[in-house]
Amino acid sequence: MKKLLLEDLKRAFFSYPFLVAGCLCFGAGIYGFWPEWDLEDPLNGFAYLFRLAHSSGTTSILSLLAPLLVTLPFVSSYYMDKKSGFFTYILLRTQRKNYILSKLLSNGLVGGSVLSIPLLMLLAVLIILYPASSRELVNPGGAFGGVYQQSEVGYLLVMIGISFLFGATYATLGLGVSAFVNNPYFAMIVPFFVYLVPGFVFPYLSLAYLEPSTTFDLSSNTLSTPVTVFTQLFLLLAIGVIAFILGVVKKSEEYV
Protein backbone atom coordinates (compact mmCIF):
# COMPACT_ATOMS: atom_id res chain seq x y z
CA MET A 1 0.00 0.00 0.00
CA LYS A 2 2.75 2.45 0.97
CA LYS A 3 4.77 1.76 -2.17
CA LEU A 4 1.71 2.10 -4.38
CA LEU A 5 0.74 5.40 -2.74
CA LEU A 6 4.25 6.79 -3.18
CA GLU A 7 4.21 5.82 -6.85
CA ASP A 8 0.82 7.49 -7.34
CA LEU A 9 2.00 10.64 -5.58
CA LYS A 10 5.10 10.70 -7.77
CA ARG A 11 2.98 10.32 -10.90
CA ALA A 12 0.63 13.05 -9.73
CA PHE A 13 3.03 15.72 -8.47
CA PHE A 14 5.96 15.24 -10.84
CA SER A 15 3.97 15.60 -14.01
CA TYR A 16 3.43 18.20 -16.69
CA PRO A 17 -0.33 18.43 -16.00
CA PHE A 18 0.36 19.38 -12.37
CA LEU A 19 2.94 21.96 -13.42
CA VAL A 20 0.64 23.41 -16.07
CA ALA A 21 -2.35 23.56 -13.71
CA GLY A 22 -0.25 25.18 -10.99
CA CYS A 23 1.10 27.80 -13.39
CA LEU A 24 -2.41 28.51 -14.65
CA CYS A 25 -3.59 28.99 -11.07
CA PHE A 26 -0.74 31.39 -10.33
CA GLY A 27 -1.32 33.24 -13.60
CA ALA A 28 -5.06 33.50 -12.98
CA GLY A 29 -4.31 35.01 -9.58
CA ILE A 30 -2.03 37.64 -11.09
CA TYR A 31 -4.66 38.44 -13.70
CA GLY A 32 -7.19 38.93 -10.91
CA PHE A 33 -5.34 41.82 -9.27
CA TRP A 34 -3.48 43.14 -12.33
CA PRO A 35 -5.74 46.20 -12.77
CA GLU A 36 -4.71 47.28 -9.25
CA TRP A 37 -1.00 46.60 -9.77
CA ASP A 38 0.79 49.71 -8.59
CA LEU A 39 3.74 49.45 -6.24
CA GLU A 40 3.55 53.16 -5.48
CA ASP A 41 -0.11 53.16 -4.46
CA PRO A 42 -0.06 53.51 -0.65
CA LEU A 43 -3.67 52.34 -0.44
CA ASN A 44 -2.95 48.88 -1.79
CA GLY A 45 -2.48 46.14 0.77
CA PHE A 46 -1.63 42.47 0.47
CA ALA A 47 -5.00 41.30 1.82
CA TYR A 48 -6.98 43.42 -0.61
CA LEU A 49 -4.91 42.31 -3.60
CA PHE A 50 -4.93 38.65 -2.58
CA ARG A 51 -8.70 38.62 -2.36
CA LEU A 52 -8.81 40.12 -5.86
CA ALA A 53 -6.45 37.41 -7.04
CA HIS A 54 -8.51 34.69 -5.41
CA SER A 55 -12.14 35.50 -6.13
CA SER A 56 -13.37 38.96 -5.18
CA GLY A 57 -12.81 41.19 -8.20
CA THR A 58 -14.41 41.58 -11.62
CA THR A 59 -11.25 40.14 -13.18
CA SER A 60 -10.94 37.30 -10.66
CA ILE A 61 -11.09 34.34 -13.05
CA LEU A 62 -9.59 31.80 -10.66
CA SER A 63 -12.96 31.24 -9.00
CA LEU A 64 -14.29 30.18 -12.42
CA LEU A 65 -11.33 28.04 -13.47
CA ALA A 66 -10.74 26.30 -10.13
CA PRO A 67 -12.99 23.24 -10.67
CA LEU A 68 -11.28 22.63 -14.02
CA LEU A 69 -7.73 23.14 -12.80
CA VAL A 70 -8.04 20.61 -9.97
CA THR A 71 -9.04 17.85 -12.38
CA LEU A 72 -6.12 18.33 -14.78
CA PRO A 73 -3.29 16.59 -12.88
CA PHE A 74 -4.68 13.17 -11.95
CA VAL A 75 -8.39 12.65 -12.58
CA SER A 76 -7.61 10.78 -15.80
CA SER A 77 -5.22 8.39 -14.01
CA TYR A 78 -7.82 5.65 -13.47
CA TYR A 79 -8.82 5.81 -17.12
CA MET A 80 -5.15 5.53 -18.13
CA ASP A 81 -4.66 2.59 -15.75
CA LYS A 82 -7.51 0.74 -17.44
CA LYS A 83 -6.38 1.64 -20.94
CA SER A 84 -2.76 0.60 -20.37
CA GLY A 85 -3.60 -2.64 -18.57
CA PHE A 86 -1.99 -1.43 -15.34
CA PHE A 87 -5.29 -1.80 -13.50
CA THR A 88 -5.40 -5.52 -14.28
CA TYR A 89 -1.73 -5.89 -13.37
CA ILE A 90 -2.02 -4.10 -10.04
CA LEU A 91 -5.00 -6.22 -8.97
CA LEU A 92 -2.75 -9.26 -9.25
CA ARG A 93 -0.16 -7.71 -6.94
CA THR A 94 -2.19 -5.94 -4.26
CA GLN A 95 -5.63 -5.86 -2.72
CA ARG A 96 -8.35 -3.89 -4.41
CA LYS A 97 -8.89 -1.71 -1.35
CA ASN A 98 -5.24 -0.64 -1.45
CA TYR A 99 -5.59 0.53 -5.03
CA ILE A 100 -8.79 2.44 -4.22
CA LEU A 101 -7.34 4.13 -1.15
CA SER A 102 -4.09 5.04 -2.90
CA LYS A 103 -5.90 6.56 -5.85
CA LEU A 104 -8.31 8.55 -3.68
CA LEU A 105 -5.55 9.92 -1.43
CA SER A 106 -3.13 10.84 -4.20
CA ASN A 107 -5.80 12.41 -6.39
CA GLY A 108 -7.24 14.37 -3.48
CA LEU A 109 -3.84 15.64 -2.34
CA VAL A 110 -2.79 16.77 -5.79
CA GLY A 111 -6.19 18.36 -6.43
CA GLY A 112 -5.92 20.41 -3.27
CA SER A 113 -2.25 21.25 -3.76
CA VAL A 114 -2.67 22.55 -7.29
CA LEU A 115 -4.64 25.44 -5.79
CA SER A 116 -3.11 25.89 -2.36
CA ILE A 117 0.57 25.86 -3.32
CA PRO A 118 0.31 28.62 -5.98
CA LEU A 119 -1.94 30.63 -3.66
CA LEU A 120 0.57 30.38 -0.81
CA MET A 121 3.32 31.51 -3.17
CA LEU A 122 1.19 34.39 -4.38
CA LEU A 123 0.38 35.47 -0.83
CA ALA A 124 4.07 35.45 0.09
CA VAL A 125 4.92 37.63 -2.92
CA LEU A 126 2.14 40.10 -2.12
CA ILE A 127 3.16 40.39 1.53
CA ILE A 128 6.70 41.24 0.41
CA LEU A 129 5.60 43.77 -2.21
CA TYR A 130 2.60 45.22 -0.34
CA PRO A 131 3.27 44.84 3.39
CA ALA A 132 0.68 47.48 4.31
CA SER A 133 -2.70 46.60 5.75
CA SER A 134 -5.71 46.31 3.46
CA ARG A 135 -7.45 49.44 2.19
CA GLU A 136 -10.87 47.79 2.45
CA LEU A 137 -13.31 49.75 4.58
CA VAL A 138 -15.83 46.91 4.80
CA ASN A 139 -14.83 43.52 6.13
CA PRO A 140 -15.79 40.55 3.97
CA GLY A 141 -19.01 38.86 5.01
CA GLY A 142 -20.08 35.28 4.59
CA ALA A 143 -18.40 32.24 6.06
CA PHE A 144 -15.39 33.01 8.27
CA GLY A 145 -15.88 36.77 7.89
CA GLY A 146 -15.30 37.14 11.63
CA VAL A 147 -11.76 35.82 11.25
CA TYR A 148 -10.89 38.79 9.04
CA GLN A 149 -11.70 41.21 11.85
CA GLN A 150 -9.15 39.51 14.08
CA SER A 151 -6.41 38.80 11.54
CA GLU A 152 -6.11 39.56 7.84
CA VAL A 153 -3.40 36.95 7.40
CA GLY A 154 -5.45 34.44 9.35
CA TYR A 155 -8.42 34.98 7.06
CA LEU A 156 -6.29 34.61 3.95
CA LEU A 157 -4.82 31.37 5.28
CA VAL A 158 -8.36 30.13 5.90
CA MET A 159 -9.15 30.97 2.28
CA ILE A 160 -6.16 28.92 1.15
CA GLY A 161 -7.09 26.05 3.45
CA ILE A 162 -10.65 25.98 2.13
CA SER A 163 -9.24 26.16 -1.40
CA PHE A 164 -7.27 22.99 -0.64
CA LEU A 165 -10.42 21.23 0.56
CA PHE A 166 -12.28 22.53 -2.49
CA GLY A 167 -9.61 21.17 -4.81
CA ALA A 168 -9.52 17.78 -3.10
CA THR A 169 -13.32 17.56 -3.21
CA TYR A 170 -13.81 18.42 -6.87
CA ALA A 171 -10.86 16.29 -7.94
CA THR A 172 -12.44 13.37 -6.09
CA LEU A 173 -15.77 14.05 -7.76
CA GLY A 174 -14.05 13.92 -11.14
CA LEU A 175 -12.31 10.68 -10.22
CA GLY A 176 -15.66 9.20 -9.24
CA VAL A 177 -17.09 10.13 -12.64
CA SER A 178 -14.08 8.58 -14.38
CA ALA A 179 -14.96 5.22 -12.85
CA PHE A 180 -18.09 5.05 -15.00
CA VAL A 181 -17.04 6.67 -18.28
CA ASN A 182 -14.31 6.00 -20.79
CA ASN A 183 -13.77 9.64 -21.62
CA PRO A 184 -11.29 11.46 -19.34
CA TYR A 185 -12.39 14.85 -20.65
CA PHE A 186 -15.97 14.17 -19.61
CA ALA A 187 -14.74 13.33 -16.11
CA MET A 188 -12.97 16.70 -16.00
CA ILE A 189 -15.95 18.67 -17.26
CA VAL A 190 -18.63 17.24 -14.95
CA PRO A 191 -17.26 18.86 -11.74
CA PHE A 192 -17.18 22.20 -13.56
CA PHE A 193 -20.88 21.96 -14.38
CA VAL A 194 -21.71 20.75 -10.87
CA TYR A 195 -19.99 23.91 -9.64
CA LEU A 196 -21.46 26.29 -12.21
CA VAL A 197 -25.05 25.25 -13.00
CA PRO A 198 -26.57 25.72 -9.50
CA GLY A 199 -25.52 29.36 -9.72
CA PHE A 200 -28.19 29.87 -12.37
CA VAL A 201 -30.89 27.94 -10.51
CA PHE A 202 -30.48 28.39 -6.76
CA PRO A 203 -31.13 32.17 -6.68
CA TYR A 204 -34.64 31.55 -8.03
CA LEU A 205 -35.21 29.08 -5.19
CA SER A 206 -33.92 31.51 -2.54
CA LEU A 207 -30.96 29.18 -2.02
CA ALA A 208 -28.18 31.44 -3.24
CA TYR A 209 -26.30 30.89 0.01
CA LEU A 210 -26.00 27.22 -0.98
CA GLU A 211 -24.44 27.86 -4.37
CA PRO A 212 -21.27 25.77 -4.82
CA SER A 213 -19.39 28.99 -5.57
CA THR A 214 -19.67 29.89 -1.87
CA THR A 215 -17.32 26.99 -1.09
CA PHE A 216 -14.53 28.78 -2.94
CA ASP A 217 -15.44 32.47 -2.80
CA LEU A 218 -16.21 32.62 0.90
CA SER A 219 -17.56 36.17 0.80
CA SER A 220 -19.81 35.76 -2.24
CA ASN A 221 -22.93 35.42 -0.07
CA THR A 222 -23.33 36.96 3.37
CA LEU A 223 -25.74 34.20 4.44
CA SER A 224 -23.26 31.39 3.90
CA THR A 225 -21.69 29.93 7.03
CA PRO A 226 -18.93 27.44 7.83
CA VAL A 227 -21.67 24.82 8.19
CA THR A 228 -23.04 25.41 4.68
CA VAL A 229 -19.53 25.42 3.21
CA PHE A 230 -18.31 22.24 4.90
CA THR A 231 -21.61 20.42 4.37
CA GLN A 232 -21.50 21.04 0.62
CA LEU A 233 -17.89 19.92 0.37
CA PHE A 234 -18.53 16.84 2.47
CA LEU A 235 -21.52 15.76 0.38
CA LEU A 236 -19.67 16.18 -2.91
CA LEU A 237 -16.62 14.42 -1.50
CA ALA A 238 -18.78 11.52 -0.31
CA ILE A 239 -20.43 11.24 -3.72
CA GLY A 240 -17.03 11.15 -5.42
CA VAL A 241 -15.62 8.55 -3.02
CA ILE A 242 -18.66 6.28 -3.21
CA ALA A 243 -18.85 6.54 -7.00
CA PHE A 244 -15.19 5.66 -7.40
CA ILE A 245 -15.41 2.70 -5.03
CA LEU A 246 -18.48 1.32 -6.80
CA GLY A 247 -16.91 1.83 -10.22
CA VAL A 248 -13.66 0.11 -9.30
CA VAL A 249 -15.45 -2.79 -7.61
CA LYS A 250 -17.65 -3.28 -10.66
CA LYS A 251 -14.69 -3.17 -13.03
CA SER A 252 -12.53 -5.49 -10.94
CA GLU A 253 -15.29 -8.11 -10.80
CA GLU A 254 -14.98 -8.46 -14.56
CA TYR A 255 -11.60 -10.09 -13.98
CA VAL A 256 -12.79 -12.52 -11.34
Q: What is the pTM of this model?
A: 0.94
Helices (H), 34-95: 46-51, 62-69, 77-84, 86-91
Say whether 15 sits in a helix, a strand or coil. coil
Q: What is the pLDDT of residues 43-59, one digit of tens each?
A: 678 888 999 999 988 88
Say whether 59 sits in a helix, a strand or coil. coil
Residues 142 and 224: beta-carbon distance below 8 Å:
yes
* Structural domains in the chain (count): 1
Q: What is the pLDDT of residues 5-53, one digit of tens each?
A: 999 999 999 999 999 999 999 999 999 998 877 666 656 788 889 999 9
List the domain range (segments joined by +) for residue 67. 2-255
Q: What is the pLDDT of residues 127-156, one digit of tens each?
A: 998 887 665 555 788 889 889 888 889 999
Helices (H), 42-183: 46-51, 62-69, 77-84, 86-91, 96-129, 145-150, 152-178
